[in-house]
Structure 1
């Protein structure tokens, strides 16, 4: 167990705490939940940075980091879907969650083929993650219907567009392996 992996595990521990705090009946609960999520989002960047900087990357950490990221995003979006009770928020949230499932499966499959590098995180994927994390923080911190919640919703739509864009880039990179031509099959034999 190294410090970057500890930070990743901490992100997973924050998930139930975030949900409980968000639903507790006290003033400022939304802000506290948003701060917890923002802290978790920061550790997402920090654990990767420290693991590379300190040369402490591990197979367990490489496995756990994307799992922790997807769990906290999916749970936060689930809470927001329930609280906002609106298709306007549900639609982009489900696009984001669905894309995460598709890309996780794609990366696993490509890794089995020894082609994981072809679906490595792209610049668009990093932009998507930044917009998504900011949108969720803003939405958690503000009640539905407020001006800031509307700004958060606009950011969520931006991240949904970036989500689809990055998914198309990943699928395009993997397409030759998913649909090999007869010519490429013969040349590999």
Structure 2
């Protein structure tokens, strides 16, 4: 199997995850800024590999499989880090944990829904909507802010609360977009539309 440039970028994004985790916990000055930079670099490769795949027509089955997996790993790992670092912060920790559970739960549910729809040849019925893209942008901005301010320094507490608010908004958009995908698939789930034979799995 030959790995093309977009897929190498996706693999690089996966490799950045343990780097971000280590930097997140290392006690050196500016470790939070460094961890945020690693996260932003990973997010940039997410955009770049998709752009190159479309621009240079370098799509592949392996790349189509790996790209959404890398995206979900990046978000899930970052949320786990933030929840763990705020587990003793009272209501703030509760809000963080609940929002993270909503986001991760939605990603698992929608991925399962898309996989099933692909199996019956109806993958196009649950294609990515604008609300899903807006959710992703809001989520990424919130995570960058929270990584930078995860220690909740008193001098930057307001910025931390902005990150919290953005993550909650992303959580609401997560539920909204999840309901959008469910509504699109509901006629088939309910049995009102005939299932079509599968033409192969698509990307999730």
TM-score, L = length of structure 2: 0.87
| Alignment correspondent of 2:90 | none
Residue by residue over 1:106-152, the C-alpha shift from the partner in whole angstroms, topping out at 9 and shown as x without a partner, is 01000001111111111000000000011101100113442111111
Once superposed, which parts of structure 1, at least 4 consecutive aligned residues long, lie more than 4 Å away?
Answer: none
| Alignment correspondent of 1:115 | 122
Distance, in Å, in 1 between the alignment partners of 2:46 and 2:122 is 24
| Alignment correspondent of 1:157 | 168
| Alignment correspondent of 1:136 | 143
Greater share of residues in helix: 1
| Alignment correspondent of 1:47 | 49
| Alignment correspondent of 2:33 | 31
TM-score, L = length of structure 1: 0.94
> How do 1:3-152 and structure 2 match up within 5 A?
3-85=5-87, 86-145=93-152, 146-152=157-163
Distance, in Å, in 2 between the alignment partners of 1:178 and 1:144 is 45
Unaligned runs of 5+ in 1: none
CA RMSD of aligned residues (A): 1.0
Residue by residue over 1:27-49, the C-alpha shift from the partner in whole angstroms, topping out at 9 and shown as x without a partner, is 11111111111111111111111
| Alignment correspondent of 2:184 | 173
Q: Note the C-alpha offset of 1:174.
A: 0.6
